[in-house]
Amino acid sequence: MPSQPFHGVLVPVLTPFTPRGEPDSRRFVAFCRWLLDQGAGGLAIFGTTSEANSMSASERMALLDALIEAGIPAEKLMPGVGACSMTEAAGLATHAVGHGCGGVLTLPPFYYKGVPDDGIFAFVSSVVDRVGSPALRIYLYHIPPVAQVGYSLDLVGRLIKAHPQTVIGLKDSSGDWSNTAALLDRYPGFAVFPGSEVFLLDALRKGGAGCITASGNVNVPGIRKLYENWRGPQADALQADVTALRKALQAYPMVPALKRIVAHFHNDPDWAAVRPPMLPLDAAQSSALLADLAELGFTLGERPRSRAA
């Protein structure tokens, strides 16, 4: 097994948009830096929470270029290269490898449904071949509730066997703990990240690498505290804390809710903008969300003043 470049609390970073709907690289760079300052173990930019699939390939590449130019360490970045076509996925992965990114998060092709495992295997293998670099590190992105197409347990094993130096981990956003547990049991040394901190303690107890979680956008410190103390006597209480916040967030459409929180606590209303087909929270939802968070005593760490706009 190759060495593992990522562990801990990874964040699928929200993507800010300007009032005209364009990706906002200035806010994006500042937010990524803030997440790393808070202790994020890596930034899984361009995931589902990032509205990556609401951006073109060139928009995603321009944002990655901006992060690198701003000095965000490439080895901390795990950009999503999800695309329905192997050519676009390979193009995005080649761009990420060129920047020295620690890894890439790879959706299965998600337009056609009911496709055979052999077809998904051929897709990933084509991406590996087209990138053609020993520096490529693929994390499989398993999120059947959204993509509707996923990586079966057997397919994961076939991909590891075919590409042992390349396919080195998986984000499991199935929401199905039994699937995460089975991955951890069957593929020791393979980096498995549950897609929610709700499963973090259970995963760590079975050898999991950490988690990659949307709520990391607003709760790196809390989740990191659990990650660092999972063997200690407070572990279950820390898990209960992060789970309570997660459950509160899940009562709302996740991406608009997270953006609303950043907009509110960083006093930056433009942060609430989302791209179609998502919609921002309406006023009533926003008030209810903030009230729910107040009840939990939640507050968001301020952005460092020296780095504010």
The contact set with its own copies (CB under 8 A) reads: 21, 48, 53-57, 59, 83-88, 91, 108-113, 115-116, 118-120, 122-123, 126, 145-149, 275-279
Give whichever of 202 and 270 is closer to its own copies, judged by the CB atom: 270
Give whichever of 103 and 109 is closer to its own copies, judged by the CB atom: 109
Q: Find the shortest distance in angstroms from Cβ 205 to its own copies.
A: 32
- Return all residues near 284 (Cβ < 8 A) that are at least 6 apart: none
Helices (H), the chain: 25-37, 57-69, 86-98, 117-131, 144-147, 153-162, 177-186, 200-205, 216-228, 235-250, 254-265, 283-295
Give whichever of 119 and 269 is closer to its own copies, judged by the CB atom: 119
Q: Which two tokens stand for residue 67?
A: 């992060």
Give whichever of 57 and 290 is closer to its own copies, judged by the CB atom: 57
Residue with tokens 């071949």: 129
In a 3-state reduction of DSSP, which class is residue 77?
strand
Give whichever of 38 and 196 is closer to its own copies, judged by the CB atom: 196
d(CA 17, CA 48): 15
Q: Find the shortest distance in angstroms from Cβ 91 to its own copies.
A: 7
Q: Find the shortest distance in angstroms from Cβ 288 to its own copies.
A: 18
Q: Find the shortest distance in angstroms from Cβ 109 to its own copies.
A: 5
Q: Find the shortest distance in angstroms from Cβ 195 to its own copies.
A: 15
Give whichever of 208 and 256 is closer to its own copies, judged by the CB atom: 256
d(CA 164, CA 160): 5
Give whichever of 283 and 309 is closer to its own copies, judged by the CB atom: 283
Residues in the chain, overall count:
309
Give whichever of 264 and 275 is closer to its own copies, judged by the CB atom: 275
Q: Which two tokens stand for residue 272?
A: 């609430």
Strand partners, 38: none
In a 3-state reduction of DSSP, which class is residue 81?
coil
d(CA 188, CA 184): 6
CB atoms under 10 Å from CB of 22, counted, come to 13
d(CA 116, CA 250): 32
Q: Find the shortest distance in angstroms from Cβ 149 to its own copies.
A: 8
Give whichever of 36 and 84 is closer to its own copies, judged by the CB atom: 84
d(CA 258, CA 272): 8
Q: Find the shortest distance in angstroms from Cβ 287 to its own copies.
A: 19
d(CA 167, CA 81): 14
Q: Find the shortest distance in angstroms from Cβ 284 to its own copies.
A: 15
Q: What is the dihedral of CA 226, 231, 236, 238, to 10 degrees?
A: -20
Q: Find the shortest distance in angstroms from Cβ 190 to its own copies.
A: 22
